Amino acid sequence: MTLVLSTDDAQKVLDLTSVIERLEQTYAELGSGSAVYRGRTDLFHPTQAAIGADMPTDLQFDKIS
């Protein structure tokens, strides 16, 4: 089962200073070649929402309430 975390969930366990420090370390590792990056994965599923002509209505990821 997938656990989907909200922004509020993340804010309860993360502090901005630690996140920025870790991002700096990660980007340094990427720059030196000691880390790898897999790239972004977009997730689509059927929906009735109409956002725009550039994305078919039946393939958009909806916000979970």
Confirm whether 22 is domain-assigned: yes
Q: Is residue 28 part of a domain?
A: yes
Highest mean pLDDT among 6-10, 19-23, 41-45: 19-23
Residue 38 covered by a domain: yes
Q: How many domains does the chain have?
A: 1
Predicted confidence band at 33 (pLDDT cuts at 50, 70, 90)?
A: very high
| Predicted local distance difference test score (pLDDT) of residue 1 | 83
How far is residue 47's CA from residue 58's CA, in Å, rounded to a whole number? 5
Q: Alpha helices, DSSP H only, in the chain?
A: 7-13, 16-32
Buried b / exposed e across 2-37, counting CB within 10 Å, b at 16+? eeeeeeeeeeeeeeeeeeeeeeeeeeeeeeeeeeee
End-to-end CA distance of the chain: 18
22 lies in which domain range?
7-59
Query: Is 54 inside a domain boundary?
Result: yes
Pairwise pLDDT comparison (50 vs 20), residue with the higher score: 20
What's the pLDDT score for residue 38?
86
The answer to whether residue 2 sits within a structural domain is no
Higher pLDDT, 22 or 1: 22
